[in-house]
Structures are given as structure tokens and as C-alpha cells.
Structure 1
Amino acid sequence: MKKPIMLALAFLVFFVPILLTVNTGQAQAAAPVLNLDVRSAIMIEAKTGKILYKYNENQAFPPASMTKMMTEYLVLDAIQKKKLSWDQKVTVDEYGAFLGKSKTSGVLLALNEVHTVKELYDAMAIYSANDATVMLAKTVAGSESEFIKLMNKTAKEFGMTQTYFATSTGLPLADLKQFASESATGENMMSARDSAILAKELLTRYPELLETTKIPHKTFREGTSRPLKMDNWNWMLPGLVKQYAGVDGLKTGHTNAAGFCFTGTGERNGVRLITVVMGAKSFLSRFTETSKMLDYGFTNYKMQPLLKKGAQVPGGEMAKVDRGTDKEVAALASQDVLYPVKAGEEGVYKPKAVVKQVTAPIKQGQEVGSIKIVGSNGKADEFLRPIDEQKAGGTLVAKDEVEEVGWIRLAFRSFFGFIGDIFSGLGNMIKGLFS
């Protein structure tokens, strides 16, 4: 009796852990052990939103000046919608002048001083200037309180579920004294995942942002009697203390409550990564910890071509068409499909078609489905959001136009389909009688 029991125990000890490891439920390999000395962190591939590394990524912490990424987004959005212009003049009010005199990061704005939106934007994006930031917020929305409402609304739309904004700058409410928003119900909070979501939205919609964030030095009020040299707080930029090849953004942050934070981005060999560290111990350590993630990401991942534009996905070559002159239409990949793949896993990932039934009329190039990227176990990797997983493989589009069928032809089609179903049913019944 003892021998079978011992064999059973041996099976449990040695084979069950292996089986559990194999059946992970996701295609990606086990997460790397990077031993980061931070409160939370995450790294994603920027195009797809695929998560390459994560640590405590869903817990919300004070983000400090990483808050300004949302302010940057809303300024760029207002520019695109022509609600603002880069050369629009902004006159500094008492709030801007108050922060200009504070000991926080700023460009020493004075009451009634006038600057363009572009000058203030550069001061915010390069030097994290709090005084410039609030003036931009008020210019976009009329008041910081209204701007904060817009920040939180946009965060919700992006799927940032662990985020709350109380200020446009990331400063604690106490530092704003009489200028603090009366409607604020708490301090700024954001998770590492949400910071990555915000960074991805910024880079996807407004990639021109990087032309500003990659500037290491710039002079504010250049050519005047009060010039101020702005050194970028992102010391991973080329020529700065912790320079890292390929890094061109994005936003640092620091308060006593937040510790030292950094949302970074960089590109090498066609791979763009977004990293977030929150709660690092020192000014420089946030860059050291970021380097560990970037080293891992750039060393191990490359963008692998999985499908050419115009190609068909096996098993999803045709989309069914309702009420069309043709009952089907060829479904083609709308773009080249590139996917971040770890070294050694080049043959693991395959495109899988998710074809929709569509109703005529169909235009050439109209969306008729999507492409999902799955691993050898048929499962998808982990992404920032469901929407990122849906978009990672791109869309399927109709190869040809399909016109809507006339009512007479549709009636005949329905009639003969009905007759066909009857004879098919009779055939099955007769076959059943003699089987």
C-alpha cells in the first residue's frame, strides 16, 4: 500500500507544478525578475500596448508632475480642434504669478506678463513649469476647476480606472493655498498602468509631442533681460547625466508623497517602449530602474511581421454578406501586422481572423472584421486594455464592393432557400428511416 501512495505523492510534487506552469492561460512567457526598487512599475510596447513587464501596476499612488501628461494631451487636443493656436497670447494672472514665486518648478512668471501658448507649452513639457501649466489649463477651460473636470472625464474615456485628478500640475492641494479647487475631493492619484495608458494615448494621437520632450535644454524669455535656462528633468536624454540611447521622452515627477517618478519612452531598431516607475528612492534611481526595464525590453523583443497588407488570414478568408448581390466578400488585412515577439518565440504567434457578418451595401475597404494575435495555446497576451488587444492585429476589410440586392431577387432567394431547407429536412428524415 505504501508504494502506490509514494508514487502518487511523487507525481504531485514533480508534475503538477509543471502542468500549472504550462497552463498559464496566456501566450506570454513568465515575467522577468528585474528586482526594481520602486513602489510600482510597468513596461509596454507602445504600438500594441502589450505588457512586457509589470509590478504592482494597478495600485494608485500620487503621480506628481506625471499629471502634466494629461494637461499636455488636452492642450494638443485643443490645438488640433482649433480652440487654441500656438501663437495665441496668454496674460499671467494672480494664480500664475503665485506659482511663479513659489519654490516649485517654474519659469518665474510675473503678474501681467504675456507669453504665447507655445512658450508656455515648452516650459511645461521640458521644464515641468507649474506656473506655465496652470496658465495653459485656464486658457483651455476658463478655470483650473473646469479643466480638472475635463481631465477626469478624459481619463475615464481612456479607461484609466485608478486615476483621479485634483490639480492640473500634480502639486498637492495644500501647496496651492487659496487657489486650490474647491471641488477637489482628494489628491491626485494614478496607477502605473494608467500612466502607461495616458502615455500611449499621447504618443498615438500626438507623436509630435516627442519633438518637444526630447529637447535637453532651452531658454525661456530668450533675447530679453530676464532669460531663464530650462534643463530637461529627464536626464536620460542624449548628453545628460543618465543618457540612454533612444530615449526621447516623456515626463518626470516628484513630491514628498510621490517619491521620484518617471514615465519614459524610447525607440531602438523599430521597437518603441513605454516605461513607468513610481516611488523610486532618489532623483537618479528612477532613471537607473527605468534602464533595467529598457535593457530587458530592447535586448529581448523585436517587431515581427506576421501578416502583409492585403493578405488573407487562414480560416477567415471570407465574410458573409446579408442582403447583398454576393453572399460573401473576401476579407483582407488592412495593414502590415507587426507584433512584439520575444527572442526564441518567433514561431509562437499566429494571426486569427474574427470575421463579422455584414449587411450590403459594402464599400471596398470597409471593415468586415478584426485580427487577433494568439500564441501556440490559442490564448492572447496581456495588454493594457481590452481595446488594445482588439487593435493589436489590425482590421479586416472588404476586397470588393457588394451592392444591395433588389427586393425581387431577395424574395426569390428566400423562397428557394425555404424550399431547399424543406428538401434537406425530408432527405434527413428518409435517411433516418433506413439507417
Structure 2
Amino acid sequence: MQTKTFSILPILLAIASGALLPHSASFAAVHHATKPAPHKKAAATENTPPPLAAQTTLAGSPPALPAKAWLLMDFDSGEVLASANPDEPLPPASLTKMMTSYLVEQALRSGKLKQTDLVSVSQNAWCRGSSTESCMYLPLNSQATVIDILRGIIIQSGNDASKAIAEHMAGSEEGFAKLMNAEALRLGMTHTHFVNPTGLPDPAHKSSARDLAILARAIIHDSVDYYPIYAEREFKYNGIKQGNRNALLYTDPTVDGLKTGHTEDAGYCLVTSSKRNGMRLITVILNTHSAQARADETRTLLGWGFSSFEKATPIQPNTVVTTAKVSFGKADTVAAGLGAPWMLTVPRGQQVQTSVELKSGLEAPVTKGSVIGKVVATSNGKPMGEAPLVAQADVERAGLLLRTWQHMAKLLGK
């Protein structure tokens, strides 16, 4: 295949001028299933959707964003801090590839795949070198390592890489889509149905802003060894250097992922994660009108999120929260506390209240660390999260004579 070289300089110049063009010369391909005519580009600008106000929020005055759906999630708790149309199934375009890369990462993690395994490029997977789709530019009938394929999916958004790994792992795109849907079900993505590993248009291929945030959170949490790839700005393969299309990676050092997407039906989409001062937020923008808009709207949403929320510790670690009564044990009570440190993301400046709910009818034996209740946190009457309460010690079951006495005392109301 003819070697091609692309410079990243146009990207940096575009960013410096405040506009990252979706058809920058630094990209070997763009996120279109079919290449739009010039008049359609102009129409996209003219037909900017009206600002969409938040339908749910945990703090006042979130921004209204011109998109079909958007969402802000706290990474630690998974709590949705603000959203609009979070559960509307929409075309996800190349955001689909987050599930493709996630399945690859989990297969690497479990040992089903190795980084050095070779993946073959079939006629079906091969990109023919046109500018009508995003490609890694894997040569036909060649082989590439799994780790290169993974980078080609995440950084270059390669349809060829996605198809090749799908065929490698499941025999076909259809077979891989079954794996994708099974994993979506396991993660609780209830408004998602995948048809292919690329996000190329299909009427049945849908996902929602909430589901894509759930998926992003799973990637960050489960793919620790591979998540840094989502922050890489460029990847060179087969002599072709392509830049990451996430403009925020070049302008905001707190952003470290995740994925862009674009087709005519899906509009311009972006899922992003940012970590500032120990707090990580995830944003989803679906179906806005330009690459510049998806970046600007994400910046706006992140700015509002980090200025409106802060971390709080409702209960300090190693604290006895309450004492639970135990029946038929050598001890009548057991101390209850948190099993792990607990932090919440709450509206800035608001106080957090906690209440305790214990399991009723707790009987010995009780094992240290077993869940015996929960503590619920609220702020201004709104639920903010909950954490399990666990026994801080073992309580052995009493002998027969003592149990009989305790049972009689219980009957007599003593």
C-alpha cells in the first residue's frame, strides 16, 4: 500500500484559532458514513438546534446546550448531576467503538487476548483508502497486533480495526454485536442496541446519553492498564500519522478521554472525562451541529460541573456509625461502620445529612465485614447516595441453654 504521511500541525493551528475543523488535513479520514455535499455543511450551521435545558439536575442553573441529548455524571458514584433527554435512544456513530474497545480491553485483562496476538484483515474489514469513513489503513490480508488494533480503534477511530477485531474475537461483525449487547445488558445499558462494532448507520443501532456515560465509567474503572490510550493525541501506523479528534485533549490538560463520533444521522457527538482536584466528571453530548460545538458544549458543561459541585465525606473512615442489636449471640450487639472510605459529589456549599437503616431481625452468627444495613446521604432533601454498613466484629452464636433463655426473654418482652 502506498505510504502516506499526515502532519499534526494543522490541528494545532486550528485549535489556536479556536476552531478544530472536522475535515482537517491531518486526518486520513473523517467520521462520515457518506461524504456530505458542501451545501449540507452550510445547512448544518444554519440549522443549529435550539438550546436544550436540563430536565434533571442536582444543583441550580445548569447550562442549556444545543444538542439532542446531554448528560453530566459523577464518576465515583455514577450519579447523574444534570441531564437532558438522557434515555432517548439515538444514533451513537463512532461512540459505539467505546464498547468495541472495552471488550478488547476486558479480553486482554482476562487473558483471552494477548497484546502481541495477530489479527488478520479480511476483505470485509479492509478500508479502500477513500475519505468516506474513518480508517486505520490496515493493508488488505495483512496482520496487526491486538495492541495496535486497540490504538487504531481508540485514537484513529478505525472502522477497519473495529471490523478486524470483531471477526477475530467472534467470527463476524454480527457475532461480535451479540457480545456487545450482552455486555451492555450486564452494565445496565437499558436503552442500547448494537448492530455493528463501528457505529456505521443502521436504523436499529442506538444508544442513549445515560448508557454511554455508564460505558465510559466502566472503561475508566475496569481498564486501568489501557485507559491512558484514550488520552493519546496521535498514533502512527503503516506510515500514516493521525491525530485524536477529541479537541479537548489539546486544550485542557484535565481531560483524558474518551471518544468522538459523527455521521449525518448522529450529528457531532462527544464523550469526555475530566479530573480536577480529586473529582472526575463524565460528559456526553449527542447530536450537536459541528465539531467545534461538541467541544465548546463539553467545556461549558465541565466548567459548570466543577464550579457547582464539590467532594464531601459524610462519615469519616474507621468510625462506628451505630450499634446493631443481635439475637441469639454471645454478644447482644455489634458495632456497625463503613466497609470502605465514602466520598460524595454534592452541590457546592450544601450540608450533607445521613440516616441509618439496619437490617431487622439480625441473628448470630454475624461475620465481621458482613453487610448489616446501610447509611443514606441527603442534601436539601434530595438523595445523594448510600453506602453499606458492615459488622465491625464477629458475633458467635450462643449455646443452646443461652439461646433458650434469650428466646424466652424475647417472648416475655424482656
Encode CA deviations 1:310-339: one digit per residue, 9 max, x unaligned.
Answer: 2133xxx12343443223211111222211
**Which residue type is aligned with residue 268 of structure 2?**
F
Q: CA deviation at 1:371?
A: 2.5
1:267 paired to 2:275? yes
Shift of 1:76: 1.6
State the alpha-carbon separation in 1 of the partners of residues 325 and 397 from structure 2: 13
Letter of the 2:301 partner, please give it: M
Q: Which amino acid aligns with 1:235?
A: A
Q: Tell me the distance in 2 between the aligned counterparts of 1:309 and 1:99.
A: 58
SS for the counterpart of 1:251 is: strand
User: Among the aligned pairs, what percent are the same residue?
Assistant: 32
Cα distance, 1:352–1:142 mapped onto 2, change above 3 Å: farther
> Any conservation in 2 of the 1:47–1:204 contact (CA below 8 Å)?
no
Equivalent residue, structure 2, for 1:403: 396
Matched, 1:157 2:157: no
Secondary structure at the aligned position of 2:199 is classed as coil
Query: What amino acid sits opposite 1:361 in the alignment?
Result: P
Task: Tell me which of 188, 198, 204 is aligned to 2:205.
Answer: 188
In structure 1, runs of 5+ residues without a counterpart are 1-25, 174-185, 221-225, 382-391, 425-435
Deviation, 1:86, is: 1.3
Distance 2:241 2:340 in 1: 44
CA distance in 1, matches of 2:365, 2:404: 17
Give me the whole-angstrom Cα distance separating, in 2, the residues matched to 1:235 and 1:219: 18
Q: Kindly indicate whether residue 58 of structure 2 is the aligned counterpart of residue 28 of structure 1.
A: yes
Compute the displacement of 1:352 (Å): 2.4
Match of 1:324 in 2: 329
Among candidates 353, 367, 373, match of residue 371 of structure 2: 367
Contact 2:127/2:137 (8 A) holds in 1: no
**Secondary structure of 2:300's match?**
helix
CA contact (8 A) 2:219 2:227 kept: no
* Structure 2 residue identity aligned to 1:227: G
Q: Deviations over 1:76-101 (max 9, x none)?
A: 22122211111111121222225666
- After superposition, residues 167-186 of structure 1 pair within 5 angstroms as 167-173=196-202, 186=203
Distance 1:33 1:416, change over 3 A: closer
Give, in whole Å, the separation in 2 of the partners of 1:329 and 1:191.
44
Q: For residue 303 of structure 2, give the secondary structure of its aligned residue in structure 1.
A: helix
SS in structure 2 of the partner of residue 284 of structure 1: helix
| Alignment: residue pair count | 358
Post-superposition Cα deviations, 1:364-422, rounded to whole Å, max 9, x if no partner, equal 22222222211243x414xxxxxxxxxx443222111112333443233223433x24x
- The corresponding residue for 1:227 is 239
Contact 2:59-2:308 within 8 A present in 1 as well: no
Say whether the 8 Å CA contact 1:161–1:194 is kept in structure 2: yes
- 2:356 alignment partner, one of 350, 353, 370: 353
Whether the 8 Å CA contact 2:256–2:274 is kept in 1: the answer is: yes
SS at match of 2:291: coil
Is the CA contact (8 Å cut-off) linking 2:254 and 2:274 kept in structure 1? yes
In 1, Cα distance between equivalents of 2:243 and 2:225: 20
Matched, 1:212 2:191: no
Distance 1:323 1:233, change over 3 A: farther
Return the offset for 1:27. Answer: 9.8
Q: Matched residue of 2:82: which SS?
A: strand
Q: What is the match of residue 302 of structure 2?
A: 294
SS in 1 for 2:124: helix
Cα gap change, 1:308 to 1:244, in 2 (>3 Å) = same
CA contact (8 A) 1:27 1:376 kept: no
After superposing the two structures, state which structure 1 stretch, 97-106 or 332-341, moved more. Answer: 97-106
Tell me the CA shift for residue 274 of structure 1: 0.3
Q: Distance in 2 between matches of 1:146 and 1:39?
A: 31
Going from structure 1 to structure 2, the CA distance change for 1:112 and 1:323 (only over 3 Å counts) comes to farther
The alpha-carbon distance between structure 1 residues 100 and 109, as it changes in their structure 2 partners (threshold 3 A), is: farther
Q: 1:260 to 1:414 in 2, by over 3 A?
A: same
| Whole-angstrom distance in 1 between the partners of 2:402 and 2:81 | 54
Query: 2:3 maps to which residue?
Result: none
Contact map agreement 2:262 2:268 (CA 8 A) in 1 = yes
Per-residue deviation at 1:245? Answer: 3.3
Tell me how large the CA RMSD over aligned residues is: 2.1
The normalised TM-score by structure 1 is 0.77
CA shift digits 1:300-319 (9 cap, x unpaired): 22212222212133xxx123
What residue ranges of structure 2 are gaps of 5+ in the alignment? 1-55
1:81 matched to 2:110? The reply is yes
CA contact (8 A) 2:308 2:347 kept: yes
Maintained 8 Å contact 1:323/1:404: yes
Q: What's the secondary structure of 1:233's corresponding residue?
A: coil
**What's 1:432 paired with?**
none
Deviation at 1:209, TM superposition (A): 3.6
